[in-house]
Structure 1
Amino acid sequence: MTNEDLQAWVEDISLKYFGKTFDHRVYFNQRLRSTGGRYLLHSHHIEVNPKHLDMYGLMELEGIIKHELCHYHLHLSGKGYRHKDKDFKELLQQVGGSRYCKPIGKKQREPYRYIVICKDCKAEYKRKRKMNVDQYVCGKCKGKLVQRSIHPQNGS
Structure 2
Amino acid sequence: MTNEELQVLVEDLSLKYFKKPFRHIAFFNPRLRTTGGRYMLNSHNIEINKLYFAELGIDELVGIIKHELCHYHLHLEGKGYKHRDRDFRNLLKHVDAPRFCSVLPGAKKKRESRLVRAYRCSNCGLIYKRKRRIDTSKYVCGKCRGKLVEEKC
Q: Same fold (TM over 0.5)?
A: yes
Corresponding residue of 1:46: 46
Q: Distance in 1 between matches of 2:13 and 2:114?
A: 44
| Change beyond 3 A, Cα 1:83–1:126 | same
Equivalent residue of 1:84, what SS?
A: coil
Q: After TM superposition, give the deviation of residue 12 of structure 1 in Å.
A: 1.8
Q: After TM superposition, give the deviation of residue 130 of structure 1 in Å.
A: 4.7
Aligned residues with identical type, % of pairs: 50
| Change beyond 3 A, Cα 1:116–1:86 | same
Corresponding residue of 2:31: 31
Query: Can you give the 5+ residue segments of structure 1 that lack an aligned partner in the other structure?
Result: 151-156
Q: Distance in 2 between matches of 1:147 and 1:42?
A: 54
Q: After TM superposition, give the deviation of residue 129 of structure 1 in Å.
A: 5.1
Equivalent residue of 2:14, what SS?
A: helix
Query: Can you give the 5+ residue segments of structure 2 that lack an aligned partner in the other structure?
Result: none
Farther off after superposition, 67-76 or 21-30: 21-30
Corresponding residue of 2:144: 143
Q: Is the Cα–Cα contact under 8 Å of residues 52 and 60 in structure 2 kept in the other structure?
A: yes
Q: Distance in 1 between matches of 2:94 and 2:120?
A: 57
In structure 2, what residue type is equivalent to 1:123?
A: L
TM-score, normalising length: structure 1: 0.73
Q: After TM superposition, give the deviation of residue 120 of structure 1 in Å.
A: 4.3
| Change beyond 3 A, Cα 1:133–1:57 | closer
Q: Distance in 1 between matches of 2:28 and 2:57?
A: 14
| Change beyond 3 A, Cα 1:63–1:110 | closer
| Change beyond 3 A, Cα 1:125–1:55 | same
Q: Distance in 1 between matches of 2:100 and 2:118?
A: 38
Q: Distance in 1 between matches of 2:96 and 2:12?
A: 15
In structure 2, what residue type is equivalent to 1:144?
A: R
Q: After TM superposition, give the deviation of residue 76 of structure 1 in Å.
A: 1.8
Q: Distance in 2 between matches of 1:117 and 1:16?
A: 60
In structure 1, what residue type is equivalent to 2:124?
A: C
Q: After TM superposition, give the deviation of residue 122 of structure 1 in Å.
A: 3.5
Q: Is the Cα–Cα contact under 8 Å of residues 121 and 149 in structure 2 kept in the other structure?
A: no
Corresponding residue of 2:94: 94
* Count of equivalent residues: 144
Structure with bigger gyration radius: 1
Equivalent residue of 2:47, what SS?
A: strand
Corresponding residue of 1:107: 109
Q: After TM superposition, give the deviation of residue 123 of structure 1 in Å.
A: 2.6
- CA RMSD of the aligned region, Å? 3.0
TM-score, normalising length: structure 2: 0.74
Q: After TM superposition, give the deviation of residue 133 of structure 1 in Å.
A: 4.8
Q: Is the Cα–Cα contact under 8 Å of residues 7 and 26 in structure 2 kept in the other structure?
A: yes
Equivalent residue of 2:16, what SS?
A: helix
